[in-house]
Structure 1
Amino acid sequence: MANTPQKHQKKPRWKLLHQYYTYTGFYNFIGRSLLKATPPIIVFIIIVLSIHFFVIDINDILLYVTENFHPIGVFGVFFASESILGLIPPEIFIAWSGKNEYPWFFLSILSVLSYLGGVLSYFFGRGIANIPRVFVYLEVKMAKHIKNMRKWGGLLIIAGALLPLPFAISSIAAGIIKFPFGSFLLFGLLRFLRFVIYGLLIFGVL
C-alpha cells in the first residue's frame, strides 16, 4: 500500500508573527532605535552626575523643587511634555516624585498623566487626519513612523510604552492611521509598568 503524503502541520500563530516581524525588520528597527536613544541617555546621566559631584547635590535640587513649586505645576509641565513628543525625560519627574512625602502616590499620578498624554497625542493624530493640508505635511515628516505603524501596529505601541522610545510619536502615528482606539488603550497600559520599573530603580538610587 502506497504511503500517503503527510499533511503539513500549520505553524503556531506566534511563529508566524515572529517570521513576519523578522521579515519586515521590526527587530532591527527596535535595535536601531535603542542604539539611537542610548547616547542621549548616557549624556544625560553624565550631565546629572557631573552636576551632582561638582556643582550641587541633585537631592538638594529635587528637595528645592519639592519645597518651592506646587505639585500641580510640576504635574502640568509633565503632562504637557508627555503630550508634545516627550520633550523632557520622564526620569527627572520620577526622581522628583521620590522626594515627596508620598513617592508612590506621586509616581502613580505621573504614570496616569503619561498615559493620558499618549491618549491626547492619539486624538491629535486623529484630528490631523481630518485636516488635508496638515495631514499631507505630517505624512511626509512622519512617513517612517506612519509606515511602521501600518506594518507593526500594536507591537510598536507596546515598544513605545515600555522602552525609552517616543511614546507620543507612536501615539500620534496610531491616531493618523486610525488604529483601533480600544486596542490602543489596551497596549498603552504597559506605560504603567514602565513607571513602576523606573520608580523601583530611581527610588533605590536616591
Structure 2
Amino acid sequence: MNTNRRPRTSQVAVKRLVLLNRYYRITRFYDFIRDTSVKGGIVIAVFVAILVGLEYFVLDFDVLLNQLVETYSPAVVFSTFFASETVLGLLPPEIFIAWASKADTPWLFLAVLASLSYLGGVVAYLAGNRLFLIPSVKDHIEMKIARHIVNLRKWGGLFVFIGAMLPLPHSIVSLACGLIKYSFRSYLLWALFRFVRFVIYAVILFQIF
C-alpha cells in the first residue's frame, strides 16, 4: 500500500509544479521577475556610478557619512528611516545602510534598520487594512496602486517576496496586502525576506564605505 502511494504522491507533486509553471507563464510572472531584476540592476549600477563619480570629483563620502554619524543621533536617523519605510519608501535604504557602515557596531545598526523596515511594512499593511473606514481615500489609493494589487492577486506571497527582495517599494506592496486583506500571517512570513535583502546589500556596501 505504501509503495503504491509514494509514486502517486510524486506524480501529483509533479503535476502541481507543471500547472504552477504554466500559470506563472500565462500570467507573465517570469517576465515580471526579469524586467524588475533588470531595472533593479540598472538602478543599483547607476546609484553606485553616481556615488563613485561624486566621490572622485566632488565629495568625500567617508567624511560626509562620518559627519552624519556625528551630527545626528541614531534615534533621529532610525526615526526618519522608519517613517520612510512606512510611507511609500521615499528614501533609498541603501543610504541608511551606508550610514550604518560608519557606526561603531555596523551590524547591530543594520539589524535595527532591517527590523524597522519590516515593522514599517507591517504598519503599512495595517493602515491598508483599515482604509475601508474612509472609502474615498481607499478608492483613491486603490487607483494609484492598481497594478500592484492586480499582481498581488495573481501571485500572492511571491509578489510580497519580490517587494521584500527587489527594488520594488516594500511599503506599497504591504499597503496593497492590507487593502485586499491578504493573509496577515502569510504576509509576515514572506516579508521576512526583507532581512535577507539588507544583509546582501550590507555585504556589498560595507565593503565600499
TM value normalised by structure 1? 0.90
Deviation string, structure 1 residues 155-205 (Cα, Å, up to 9, x no partner) = 000111111211111111111100010110011011111111111111122
Deviation string, structure 1 residues 12-66 (Cα, Å, up to 9, x no partner) = 4333222211111111122223344444433332322222111121111111111
Q: Which runs of 5+ in 1 are unaligned?
A: 1-6
Moved more, 78-87 or 37-46: 37-46
Match of 1:168 among 165, 171, 179: 171
Secondary structure (helix, strand or coil) at the match of 2:133 reads coil
Look up the match of 1:114.
117
Q: What is the 5 A alignment of 1:142-161?
A: 142-161=145-164
Contact 1:111 1:191 in 2 (8 A): yes
When you count helix as a share of all residues, which structure comes out higher?
2
CA distance in 1, matches of 2:169, 2:96: 16
Match of 1:33 among 29, 36, 41: 36
CA distance in 1, matches of 2:200, 2:175: 25
**2:93 aligned with 1:90, yes or no?**
yes
Deviation string, structure 1 residues 113-133 (Cα, Å, up to 9, x no partner) = 000011011112112233211
Deviation string, structure 1 residues 63-112 (Cα, Å, up to 9, x no partner) = 11111110000001111111111111101111111111000000000000
CA RMSD of aligned residues (A): 1.7
Q: Partner letter of residue 91 of structure 1?
A: E
CA distance in 1, matches of 2:43, 2:204: 19
Q: How many pairs are equivalent?
A: 199
Q: CA deviation at 1:141?
A: 1.6
Look up the match of 1:125.
128
Contact 2:128 2:175 in 1 (8 A): yes
Q: What is the 5 A alignment of 1:29-68?
A: 29-68=32-71
Look up the match of 1:4.
none
Q: Partner letter of residue 27 of structure 1?
A: Y
Secondary structure (helix, strand or coil) at the match of 1:99 reads coil
TM value normalised by structure 2? 0.89
Moved more, 115-124 or 25-34: 25-34
Look up the match of 2:77.
74
The percentage of aligned residue pairs carrying the same residue is: 48
Contact 1:114 1:191 in 2 (8 A): yes
Contact 2:161 2:190 in 1 (8 A): yes
CA distance in 2, matches of 1:36, 1:201: 18
Q: Which runs of 5+ in 2 are unaligned?
A: 1-7
Q: Partner letter of residue 172 of structure 1?
A: L
Q: CA deviation at 1:136?
A: 1.6
Look up the match of 1:181.
184
Contact 1:161 1:188 in 2 (8 A): yes
